Amino acid sequence: MRILETWIVGLNRALVALALATVFAIVFANVVGRYGLGSSFAWVEEVARHLMILGAFCGAGLALREGRLVAITTVPDLLPPPLARLLRWGIVIVMFGFMATMLWLGVQFVQFGWNKETMSTGISRGIPYLAIPIGCALFLIQLAFFAKRFVDQDFEHGVDADGDETEV
Contact 60, 133 (CB under 8 A): no
pLDDT digits (tens, 9 = 90+) for 40-83: 888 999 999 999 999 999 999 999 999 888 777 788 889 999 99
Sequence-ordered strand ranges (E) for 3-107: none
Distance separating alpha carbons of residues 111 and 66, to the nearest angstrom: 33
Q: How far apart are the first and last CA of the chain?
A: 24
Average pLDDT, the chain: 90
- Sign of the CA dihedral 8, 14, 17, 22? negative
Please check whether residue 132 is in contact with residue 109, taking contact to mean a CB–CB distance below 8 angstroms: yes
Judged by phi (left if over 0) then psi (alpha if -120 to 50, else beta), residue 78 lies in: alpha
Q: What is the pLDDT of residues 15-38, one digit of tens each?
A: 999 999 999 999 999 999 999 888
Return d(Cα 78, Cα 35) in angstroms, integer: 56
pLDDT value, residue 165: 56
CA dihedral of 82, 80, 77, 158, whole degrees rounded to 10 = -40
pTM: 0.85
- Give CA torsion, residues 9, 11, 15, 17, to 10 deg: 70
DSSP 38: S
